[in-house]
A = this chain, B = another copy of it.
Amino acid sequence: MGTLPRVDGERMREDFEALSRIGATAEGGVSRPTFSDAHFAAREWFLTRARAAGLDTQVDAAGNHSAVLRVQLHRHARVLLLGSHLDSVPGGGRYDGAMGVVAALHVLLALKDAGTDLPFGVEAIDFTDEEGTLLGLLGSEALAGSLSAESLHAPRGGRDALLAGLARAGLSEARLLEARRDPQTLAGYLELHIEQGPRLEREGVRIGVVTTIVGSRSFRLVLHGAGGHAGGLPMDVRRDAAVAAARLILSVQDIVVHDFPGAVATVGDVRVEPGAFNVVPGVARLALEFRSHDDGELDAIESAVLGRARADAEANGIELAVTPVARWQPTRLDPRVSDKIERAAVDLGLTTKRLASFAGHDAQALAPVTASGMIFVPSVGGVSHDPREHTAWDDVVNGANVLLRTVERLASPS
């Protein structure tokens, strides 16, 4: 096995660190929301680095950025996509998405250097707006052909932000759908990503083989009570929107922890209006999201959480408005690809664990149209979407080598 090609871990580290300086925050993470200056700079860095290494590059109608290793010998060869994303949540970590793109690039470089004979082209792809600053999975859904008119009209970040963002990126809403690729042209999809949870670290396992990707639903909730003077309004007659928001947050927690232990739910944003020391809040706006690997469970959580919220609101004289924001089905990845990933890890002497992903990924957009698989590496403390997000460099290199070896295994007939 000593002859297996490997990625150049040191060059990859230099690249990863150069990339991490783009949009770097004082807290040690990165902030590269979709179509921010830092995001544009990161994508430009990626194309420049790929070109310098002698790879072709391309940008499609959805703004997806790619480096491509073409196959000389096969005229109508399909292409194997190795993807992830360079956008981040605001104030996020360095590894989420970026690690997968840098690793994909280095897998191409290793294949190129080794002169490996492949039956398909290999493309390292940076998908647009995975995190959902604008819409979520925008680039991967466009490529898969599943981008819906509905989500374009009521995107998570608001319609105005979407249109302004597309304009800033020189993209046209009308042309987004042109990014769709015929599934016949695809040889599959592989994604290396950090786990963003604590399971691999807890069990001391080096490589996670992802079986399914969580489904999620998100909603905007607006609670309308009655504002008033914080001194003049007796507590027994108040319809305080902050108190209503507090009850809602704790009821979400209570319902999901006790009745749906396999799921997670989060109230990720709370704003009250007008927001002053001496005014009882009249309005509260919340961002609610929950995730499960079972679509029926998502139905049950939606019914329980929104049902309790409506009953509590009514009992307290509060009006509740609920607006659905996003809805992703749980997605099963290809078991044959998972087997290849597992064998690739074994080839490299690495321990593996099959696990479900509680995070959404571009792979869930690709899985319905092409054989898709995901590789996880451990997240220190399970922390992600936070500047403290960290993965040991050895694990990054392991993940990149498993990605490389999986490409080779997919290329071989057995």
Contacts and interface: CB of A to CB of B under 8 A. Distances in A.
Interface of A: 89-92, 96, 131-132, 156, 195-198, 214, 216, 218, 226-237, 240, 242-243, 245-247, 249-250, 253, 256-257, 264-282, 284, 287-289, 291, 325-326, 357-360, 379, 382-386
B357 A278 contact: no
12 contacts: A196-B229, A214-B231, A228-B383, A229-B359, A230-B264, A233-B264, A233-B382, A233-B383, A267-B281, A268-B280, A271-B271, A275-B287
B386 A131 contact: no
Given A91-B273, A228-B385, A232-B358, 10 more contacts: A89-B274, A92-B279, A196-B232, A218-B277, A228-B382, A269-B277, A270-B270, A277-B326, A278-B360, A278-B385
A99 B311 CA distance: 40
Contact of A253 (B90, B229, B230, B235): B235
B287 A276 contact: yes
A235 B240 CA distance: 27
Contacts of A214: 231
A192 to B, nearest CB: 16
A56 to B, nearest CB: 33
Contact of A386 (B90, B227, B326, B382): B227
Contacts of A233: 196-197, 264, 382-384
Given A246-B249, A281-B268, A229 B274 contact: no
Instruction: Rank and list the top 5 A-B pairs by shortest CB-CB distance, nearest first.
Output: A196-B232, A231-B358, A197-B232, A229-B384, A246-B249
A200 to B, nearest CB: 11
Contacts of A256: 235
A92 B386 CA distance: 38
Contacts of A266: 230, 240, 277-280
A237 B358 CA distance: 14
A274 B233 CA distance: 32
B279 A257 contact: no
A197 B229 contact: yes
Nearest to A357: B231
A250 B242 CA distance: 9
A157 to B, nearest CB: 10
A297 B260 CA distance: 43
Given A274-B90, A282-B386, A249 B253 contact: no
